[in-house]
Structure formats: structure tokens, C-alpha cells
Amino acid sequence: ITIFGAICAYLTLSPKVRAPKWIAFRALVFVLLGLSAIIPVIHGVFLYGLTTVNIRIAFVPWLLTEGLMYILGASIYAARFPESSYPGKLDIWGSSHQIFHVLVDLGAAAHFVALVHSAPASERALNQYPEAVIGLNVCEANITYTHPGQNDTIKTSIWLPLNWNGRMMGIGGGGWMTGYYFALPWPASKGYAAVMTDGGHGLSDTKSWELKSPGNVDWALLNDFASITLDDAATLAKAATAAFYGERPKFSYFNGCSTGGRQGYMMAQRYPGQYDGILATAPGINWDRMILGLVHPQVVMNQKKIYPPLCEIDTFSAAAISACDELDGVKDGFILDPSSCTFDPMTVVGQKFNCSSTGISGILSVDGATIVSAAWSSVRTEDGRLLNGRPLSYGPNRGAPLLGIADTICSSSDNSSTTSCTGNPLSIAVEWIKYYLAKDETFDFSQIKRRQYDTLFRQSINQYSSIIGTSDADLTDFKESGGKLLTWHGLDDQLLSLDNTVEYWERVKEQDPEIDGYYRLFAAPGVLHCAGGSGWFPGNAMDSLVDWVERKVAPDHLKARTVGGEKERRVELCRWPAKLVFLGGDADVAESYACK
């Protein structure tokens, strides 16, 4: 776009190319300039989807401006105005083709400015409603360092906005990523000094950093990922703000979901003085147990040698929603209180299913119902025992998608109508087993027997609970430092069950009945893992946390609304253990619900 724009600028200003022999060349260059505007738009749509690109990058106003410039210029050129009204007086400057050139250049400038402003916003913010990031002016400090003797190299990025609001925000990661670089623009645009760390392994494939050699875990990098670099990042960010602004942040916040949620809890447990407020959603706490629970349905599949197609699994989930959706008095596509749903998948065995998207059809089977039941169940040992009175891990609620934990890959041969399926376990859990438990990258997950699965649980707990378990229920130091921990968790989370978070909340409450003074939990009906779903997403939770920390206004509710549906619905989420109840009336307004 820049190259074509520069050529067009030259063609506009140079009399040498006004000769008739250059007309075709001029036309080609200007046409290419116009068409080049489509390239980044198509790229963005393929990467993020039309809705995301439109809402978050806000490219439509810029494209409309650009299009208006082109259309206006072409119209003036076609009408030969103004020279048609003033013959012989506007042959060089002020003629229609000169005006057309100028307007095309302005259109190119509009597109170029749009790209510059929208580039950081092409990624998503954490725990926030979709919002375009505009007017971003920051100094970026990139710090590379090592812990002597550990043979690690950590990279930390700190964005220091010119419109600093006196606050700092740490950004969490997801999966094996210690931090999300793409999540820095949103807090920086709001005036926060924002920081993320790569944890010492960047975005590299897990097998390149988890084992130093076969059988030998890289303990330094695991500790970096689990906790140490999170503490480092906060310390470095505070030092950077002091150097850049002349003062340290007045308030420091952490923002993360999933792995980022676990990181927030780790900061509260192990580094209680680093952050004044922590927004940690759908947290991957009890990591040493939770991570193995993610493959429970796959272990059952391998044990029983049954692999239902995902289409069949989805049909069972849809049947659960159909059976329980209206228990609250509203039919809205999700279950308000999944704990009230006792749907048994065996009751629909024998019914037909047909998935047009995959071309797979058939009869709901006992095998399929068996896997769905396993997915929904909490995990116990092979002989049905609990661990210290609690399940080994928890399954998602009825109504949540099972794509992540009960996925299969199916294929059929050209000369057969029979579909053959195999399990498709979640990669992060398989990698945990392969590299940290078996310590062998050639380990075959599909060969795990049920009793061995129990052994892996014990091994994971014994070897890694103190490193990455993030399950310490004693938050005394966090409480005494004045910290506030705010968590919400989607009831339709397809990966990490709310029950996992509730277990931790209950253990904290057992130790300290005054938990509400520093730790509050909210359930979000209909919301998937971190975001998405048909339910109410609390995209302003960070504002509630700031009010709690700085104004001592503790949140009893979190305002939430649906995102992306045909109509917007609003509620105020309830502080756990209260649950949202429909009172009657308009199901789209918050006044029709109460917390009980």
C-alpha cells in the first residue's frame, strides 16, 4: 500500500507522465492502489473473523472513508468537473484528474493510518468486552535477563503509556504461554503500565524446553513458568515505571484467565505483596490434579476401545440442554443452574442424530452415552476412592461443549461407508504426562491403563504440587497485605470446571470465615472457558476490582451481558455461594433476576 501510494503521489505531482502514452500505466497503478486495500482486510478476517475484525479493529469507518475518497474522485473525474465548466482554464492544476489523484492519495492515507492505529488492536483483551484500541502511544521496554546458574533466558515486555494513570497491570498467559503479548495494548490504552513475560521459553514447542535430556526435567524452566518469572515481571515493571515516570505505581493489578488465572492465584499465595488487586478467572489451580483430569474421557475411550464421533457427543450435550434449559423458566439455549440438571444420557440412546456439517449420522449409542457420562463425572480412583475426601478432578457441567476433552477424529475409506474414529486428547495434558511424568517424548498416551492413570495422579501430586499445584489455601499474608482476589468462572466452561475453583474457595473459607474481605467468587451462567457462549459475560470485572481496591467498594454483584447475540441481555452475577434465579417478566433485563 505504501509503495503504490508513493507511486501515485509521484504520478500526481510529475508533469512528465501526463502524456497519453502513460494513461494505461497511471490507471493500472491507481487501480492496484485501490485493490491493495482489500489485502489486510481479508488477512484480518481470516485470522480473527469478520465480527472480531470489525469490532476490535474498527476498520469499517476507515474503509468507508477510503471508499468515499475513491468514489468521490472517480465521480469527479468521470464528470470532468470543474474543467468542463471552465474550458481551457484548468489544464494543469485543478482539473478533475488532479482532484482524483489527490482524493486517491487521501484514501490511501486513510487506510495507512487505520493500519497503524489498529495493528495493536488486532488482538484481544483479557477479561474485557471487545473494544477497539485507538490513540495508543507507548514506550516499550524489552528486558532480557537470566538467573545466574540456571541457564535460562527470560524476555519481559513492558508498555509504558504516555497517558499513565498511575497504575500497573501484569498480564497472564494461557496453556504453556506464560504471558500474552497481544494483550498489552488494551491496558496500555487505558493508561496502565502493562507487563508480560515469556517465562523463559517464549512460544517454542514444549518438547524443546520441558526436558533437558531424556528422563531429566528442566526444573529451572518449569519453576520459571510456574511462578518465578511472574514475580520477576512485577518487580521489573515497577522499576521501569519508576525510571520512566519518576515514581512507582500507586496501585498494581494482575489480569489473567486459565493459565493466567492460575498465575493470579500463585501471586496471591506465594508473592502476596506484589499486586493490590488480582482478577483471576477460570483459574487452572490444583494444576497437578486438574491437568490429568482433562484427559479422563480419553482414558475411558482407550480403556473400552470406544470412540464416538464428536457429532454424537455434541448431540448428547444438546439433549442435556433441551432437557434442562427451561428448569429456570426461560428457554435461552443454556442451563442457568447446571447443578439442578440430572439428565441421564442413557435416556436418549437409540434416537437418531444427523450432523450436516460433517455428513455423519447414526443412532445415539450406549458407547456414546458412556463417554459423555465419564466426561461429566468427577474423577475417582479405579476402585471409587476419593483423595483426602475430594475427587481427583472434576468434569464440566451438563450443557458445556465437550470438544476439548472428549474429541475424536473420524475418517471413512473411499470404498466403505463405515466411519472409523480415534481419540483426540487435549495436547497440554498429553504433554504434561509425556514430558513431566513419563519424562519420555516417545511415550504413547493411548496405551495408558486405568490403574496406571491413578498412578500418574499420585506421581503428579507428589512431584509437582509444591511447584505448580497452586493449591495453598492459606491466604493470610495476602489478606494482611491488603490484597483483593476477584474471580469469575463460566458455568459452561468446557475445560476447567467451576467445581475445581469452588473446592479451593471452600478450603480457604474453612481456614478463614472472613474470606469475603479479600476473596470473592462469581459464577457466570452460559459462559465458556474465559469467554464465549450464550450467557452473561462480566466484561467490566476489572472496573469492579479497581473500585474494591481503591475505593473500598466490595462487589456483591458483577454486571454482565451477552455478547454477539441477536439481542443484548443483562444480569448482575451473584457472589458465591448465592445463585442467580429468574423471578419472571422480561428475561432480558437484570431486574427479572435475583440472587438466592
Instruction: List beta partners, residue 354.
Output: 361
Cα–Cα dist 324/306, whole Å: 27
Share of the chain above pLDDT 70, in %: 89
Q: Do residues 399 and 492 lie in contact, with contact meaning Cβ atoms separated by under 8 Å?
A: yes
The DSSP annotation for 80-146 comes to TTTTTTSTTT-SSSS-HHHHHHHHHHHHHHHHHHHHHHHTGGGSPPTTS------S--EEEEEEEE-
pLDDT in tens, 406-441: 999 988 765 556 678 999 999 999 999 999 999 999
- Domain spans of the chain, in order of start: 2-118, 138-285+472-564, 291-467
In this predicted structure, what is the pLDDT of residue 11?
77
In this model, does residue 330 exceed pLDDT 80?
yes
In this predicted structure, what is the pLDDT of residue 289?
96
Give, for 570, the enclosing helix (H) or strand (E). Answer: strand 570-574
Chain-centre distance of CA 551, in angstroms? 29
pLDDT in tens, 84-120: 777 766 666 667 777 877 887 888 787 777 666 555 4
The segment with the largest mean pLDDT, out of 29-38, 51-60, 336-345, 379-388, is 336-345
Q: Which long-range contacts (CB under 8 A, 24 or more apart) does 405-409 make?
A: 405/294, 405/295, 405/296, 405/297, 405/298, 405/375, 405/494, 405/495, 406/297, 406/298, 406/301, 406/310, 406/313, 406/371, 406/372, 406/375, 407/310, 408/301, 408/307, 408/308, 408/309, 408/310, 408/313
The DSSP annotation for 508-548 comes to HHHH-TTGGGTEEEEEETT--SSS-SSS-B-TTHHHHHHHH
pLDDT classification of 538: cutoffs 50, 70, 90? very high
Provide the mean pLDDT of the chain.
89
Residue 320 sits at φ, ψ, to 5 deg, of -65, -45
Residue 460 sits at φ, ψ, to 5 deg, of -65, -45
Q: Do residues 218 and 210 lie in contact, with contact meaning Cβ atoms separated by under 8 Å?
A: yes
pLDDT classification of 45: cutoffs 50, 70, 90? low
Q: Do residues 595 and 574 lie in contact, with contact meaning Cβ atoms separated by under 8 Å?
A: yes
In this predicted structure, what is the pLDDT of residue 55?
45
Residues assigned a catalytic role: 258, 493, 529
Q: Which of 51-55, 233-237, 320-324 has the lowest mean pLDDT?
A: 51-55
Between 284 and 71, the more confident residue is 284
Q: Is 257 helix (H, G, I), strand (E, B) or coil?
A: strand
pLDDT classification of 33: cutoffs 50, 70, 90? confident
Give the list of residues 6+ apart from residue 436 with CB closer than 8 angstroms, or none: 210, 217, 222, 460, 463, 464
In this predicted structure, what is the pLDDT of residue 266?
99
Q: Is 174 helix (H, G, I), strand (E, B) or coil?
A: strand
Cα–Cα dist 570/112, whole Å: 38
Mean pLDDT of 178-189: 90
pLDDT in tens, 192-218: 999 999 999 976 556 678 888 989 999
Mean pLDDT of 10-21: 76
Output the nine-digit C-alpha cell for 169. Answer: 497491570
In this model, does residue 494 exceed pLDDT 60?
yes
Q: Do residues 96 and 77 lie in contact, with contact meaning Cβ atoms separated by under 8 Å?
A: yes
Q: Is 561 helix (H, G, I), strand (E, B) or coil?
A: strand
Query: Is domain 138-285+472-564 classified as CATH 3.30.200.20?
Result: no
Mean pLDDT of 123-140: 80
Output the nine-digit C-alpha cell for 196. Answer: 508480560
pTM of the model: 0.81
From residue 375, how far is each of 293, 299, 344 by CA, in Å? 9, 10, 12
